[in-house]
Chains A and B, each alone.
Chain A
């Protein structure tokens, strides 16, 4: 049995120097803007390339957590930033980043300096460029892993950083990579999705292109069944190179690669990529493979210590709360005796994905103590401790309980994904956070959550779908109707390896006051319809279709014809 896990990548001198220089440049850009040398139109793409948005009430800085991995020192520094320049909290996002909602413009360079101090940055977390690479939050620990994708993700990070050709792409570009059989990175919903494959003993990638959500949700098309791992960078570069010239620049809504693929046809696109690949493959002189080897050494193994189970069994038997928590929040690790712990940031009634600085420090300490100093951020907006020995689970649980972070609700109805919505986001048409808070409280009060079982609710505050509503078992899309908030419901979305489905529209939308009762009703319809306790919402939905749901809902919440 293998008993080694990867250590984390830590910055090389080159990385540190790069970040220092980059922050110096941004400080200058801010000065130029304030002094009027740069217009807002010119400054906007430059600040976005450094993760800085101007939102409804304030600036927002999106800090990269590359492929969702960080150590306790880094999380502690994020807590420091939250206290120093924000209002004592941060918002973890579905793209494995963290957002600070309240900094001032002139503070940003200082924040970037303090990030650089712990090997972090906000480079390319926004803008029309290659964004933060996302990956499997269980990477390096998952039972079903073929190979750890993180060294490849790090290679991609380095390669895409400040890439001279790709800082002014037609639109944003998102890459996700996974090394497991089970796709926990939603690769098929990214501009490029990479899945590690084994073929005749060779390691390589299946490459899909053109997936995405937003106003036109599309499942990615596989354009390369098997890409040998040495060809990884040149091939990714070819895809983006082809799209950079062909992508629509006349219409923001048609600029994504999924539209290029649709307009051109995937066969034609694929042919262009293969041709470009032939052209540029030999411009890589092999230094990328060498760097990959160096990165792999960086990630090289830590020996996990074998330990007895201690009081685990007893505690598990005695303590119902602990048992629930283990059942929902703890996952098998590839090494016997170890587990993967998900710390829920979805305490009922709280803002999904938000953590206070105190909680960040607390979890950072726990990671140091119990998880070999490693943390992950999941696209479900939770924090993962990837290597916790079973004997430590009860102590960990007790500490989390004290910090208000022991909600045993991972994968359950209150583990809601929600984008910032109208409360913060300039593009929003309705709020998503208050809905998530109300739903959390409602189902806690009903005490139904454990009975309902797996049910994923995802909420977006506008058609851009940052909250992945298309992929929720129940998805909620916030819209605006005559200056008021209105909510549309979609059912049956899912993102798993075998089946990816985009949710179906239930019908006309609901008002802010109706939407929580509507969701409650949907759940009750499901509970009445399910064959037994083991049948999940999604399974029931797939068995019976959407009609039994829509019929009952609109009987109880009739719409005026005009609304339809």
Chain B
């Protein structure tokens, strides 16, 4: 990532209970839908949000525990509101495996 042309990125992680791929929303909360994710276009802001994700990962107390594992930043391409992933790996992670039609979302990309 070059610092002058940053983003767009989202914070992603896995859900502790299901392993599901999840994204941080503006609230902040977590969603499995990329369209609900909070899209960040600024480096400093991305660090703040990543920190938010990590804080959520390590919240400890009996009733306020966190179900987030290993948050990191995922780079996107957004073209007229159509969201796609810069890396093929991230697309596959989002849409599910390509060998069966039974990912957590149906396989839609090539």
Direct contact of A and B (CB under 8 A): yes
Chain A residues near B (Cβ < 8 Å): 33-37, 39-40, 54-59, 87, 101, 104-106, 351, 422-424, 428-429, 431, 433-434, 437, 480, 483-485
B contact residues around A56 at 8 Å (CB): 21, 92-93
Contact flag A105-B97 (CB < 8 Å), given A422-B89, A422-B92, A483-B87 = no
In the complex, the answer to whether A33 meets B16 with C-beta atoms within 8 Å is yes
Chain A residues with Cβ below 8 Å from B17 are: 34, 104-106
Shortest Cβ distance from B1 into chain A, in angstroms? Answer: 13
CB-defined A-B contacts under 8 Å, sample of 26? A33-B16, A34-B16, A34-B17, A35-B65, A36-B65, A36-B66, A39-B58, A54-B14, A54-B19, A54-B70, A56-B21, A58-B19, A59-B18, A59-B19, A87-B100, A104-B18, A105-B17, A106-B17, A351-B99, A351-B100, A422-B89, A423-B97, A423-B98, A433-B99, A437-B99, A484-B88
- The interface residues of chain B lying within 8 Å CB-to-CB of A39 are 58
Bound-complex Cα distance A223 to B37 (A): 56
Verify A424–B87 contact, CB threshold 8 A: no
Instruction: Identify the interface centre among B17, B66, B89, B102: most chain A CB within 10 Å of its CB.
Output: B89
**Could you say which residues of chain A place their CB within 8 Å of the CB of B98?**
423, 431, 433-434
Known: A104-B19, A433-B98. 14 other contacts (CB 8 A): A36-B59, A36-B60, A36-B66, A56-B93, A87-B102, A104-B17, A105-B19, A422-B92, A429-B89, A431-B98, A434-B99, A480-B88, A483-B86, A483-B89
Q: Which of A34, A428, A434, A485 contacts B65 (CB 8 A)?
A: A34
Whether the Cβ atoms of B69 and A40 lie closer than 8 Å is yes
Determine the distance from Cα of A137 to Cα of B102 in the docked complex, in whole angstroms: 32
B59: nearest chain-A partner, CB-CB: A36
A484 to B98, CA, bound (A): 15
B87 touches A40 (CB 8 A): no
Q: Write out the residue numbers on chain B whose beta carbons fall within 8 Å of the beta carbon of A431.
A: 92, 98
Asked whether A57 lies within 8 Å of B65 as measured between CB atoms, the reply is no
- Residue numbers in A under 8 Å from B102 (CB-CB): 87
Main SS class of interface, B: loop
| Neighbouring B residues of A36 by C-beta, 8 Å | 59-62, 65-66
Q: For B93, what are the chain A residues with a Cβ–Cβ distance below 8 Å?
A: 56-57
Chain B, residues 63-102, CB within 8 Å of chain A (1/0): the string is 0011101100000000000000011110011001111101
A480–B89 CB distance below 8 A:
yes
**Shortest Cβ distance from residue A372 to the other chain B in the assembled complex, whole angstroms:** 34
Known: A59-B19, A483-B86, A483-B88. A423 touches B62 (CB 8 A): no
Known contacts A57-B21, A423-B98, A434-B98: A40-B92 contact under CB 8 Å: no
Give Cα A431 to B17, complex, Å.
26
Which of chain A's residues have a CB closer than 8 A to the CB of B31? none
List chain B residues, Cβ under 8 A from A35.
62, 65
Give A101's nearest chain B residue, CB to CB: B97
Closest residue of chain B to A422 (Cβ to Cβ) is: B92
Query: Can you name the residue of chain A whose Cβ is closest to the Cβ of B93?
Result: A56
Cross-chain contact A105 with B62 (CB below 8 angstroms): no
Are A424 and B86 closer than 8 Å at their CB atoms? no
Assess whether B21 is in contact with A105, with CB atoms less than 8 Å apart: no
Contacts of A106 in B (CB 8 A): 17
B58 proximity list for chain A (CB < 8 A): 39
Query: Measured between C-beta atoms, what is the minimum distance from B91 to chain A in Å?
Result: 9
> B104 and A58: CB pair below 8 A?
yes
**With A58-B18, A105-B16, A105-B18 in contact, do A40 and B97 touch (Cβ < 8 Å)?**
no
CB neighbours of B18 from chain A (8 A): 58-59, 104-105
Q: What's the least CB distance linking A29 to chain B, in Å? A: 13
User: How far, in angstroms, from A57 to B90 measured CA to CA in the complex?
Assistant: 11
Task: Give Cα distance in the complex from A105 to B15, angstroms.
Answer: 10
For B96, the chain A residues whose CB sits under 8 A away are: 57
Q: Determine the distance from Cα of A39 to Cα of B60 in the docked complex, in whole angstroms.
A: 9
Q: Which residues of A contact B59 (CB under 8 A)?
A: 36
Residues of B with C-beta under 8 A to A55: 19
Residues of B within 8 A of A484 (CB): 88
A57 touches which one: B16, B86, B89, B103 (CB < 8 A)?
B103
Contact with A along B22-39 (1 / 0, CB 8 A): 000000000000000000
Closest 3 CB pairs of A and B: A423-B97, A36-B65, A58-B19
| Chain A residue at minimal CB-CB distance from B91 | A483
Of listed B18, B60, B93, residue having the most chain A CB within 10 A = B18
Residues of B contacting A105 with CB < 8 Å? 16-19
Cβ distance A467 to chain B, nearest Cβ, rounded Å: 14
- In the complex, the chain B residue whose C-beta lies closest to that of A483 is B87
Residues of chain B within 8 A of A40, CB atoms compared: 16, 57, 69-70
- In the assembled complex, the CB of B11 is this many whole angstroms from the nearest CB of chain A, namely 16
Task: Tell me if A58 and B20 are in contact (CB < 8 A).
Answer: yes
User: Smallest CB-CB separation from A38: which chain B residue?
Assistant: B60
Q: How many angstroms from the CA of A57 to the CA of B107 in the assembled complex?
A: 13
Residue on A with the closest CB to B60? A36
B47 CB → nearest A CB, Å: 20
Contacts of B62 in A (CB 8 A): 35-36
**Residue contact B99 to A485, C-beta cutoff 8 Å:** no
Task: Tell me the complex Cα distance, A57–B13, Å.
Answer: 10
A40 vs B17: C-alpha distance when bound (angstroms): 12
Q: How far is the CA of A177 from the CA of B60 in the complex (A)?
A: 46
CA distance A106 to B66 in the complex (A): 15
Instruction: Determine how close the nearest CB of chain A comes to the CB of B103; give it in whole angstroms.
Output: 6
Nearest chain B CB to A448's CB is how many angstroms away?
Answer: 24
Contacts of B20 in A (CB 8 A): 57-58
